[in-house]
Amino acid sequence: MATLQNNTGNAATALTIEYDLGELNAAGPTVVEELPGHQVYYSLTGSANSWTLIPALSGIGTPGRLSA
């Protein structure tokens, strides 16, 4: 979980999130995840029922660079 705060003194109109999705598994059996990748959401308030899915960062099962 990441909590981000705008301290610029101006309204932020956009935010780019970028990270490398990878797998770090020890040699041996393959790890099977119940859900591929991550499910990534955002909320401007953190209140219940205010969370919105970010499709470009969610459900990706292939390792690589993700950006939204």
Q: Please write the tens of the pLDDT for every residue from 11-39.
A: 888 888 888 877 666 676 666 666 667 78
CB atoms within 10 A of CB 37: 15
Q: Give the model's pLDDT for residue 46.
A: 84
Nearest to 61 by CA among 28, 26, 21: 21
CB atoms within 10 A of CB 45: 7
Name the pTM for this structure: 0.65
Distance CA 33, CA 43 (A): 26
Q: Give the model's pLDDT for residue 65.
A: 86
Q: Give the model's pLDDT for residue 32.
A: 65
* CB contact at 8 A, 3 and 21: no
Distance CA 65, CA 2 (A): 18
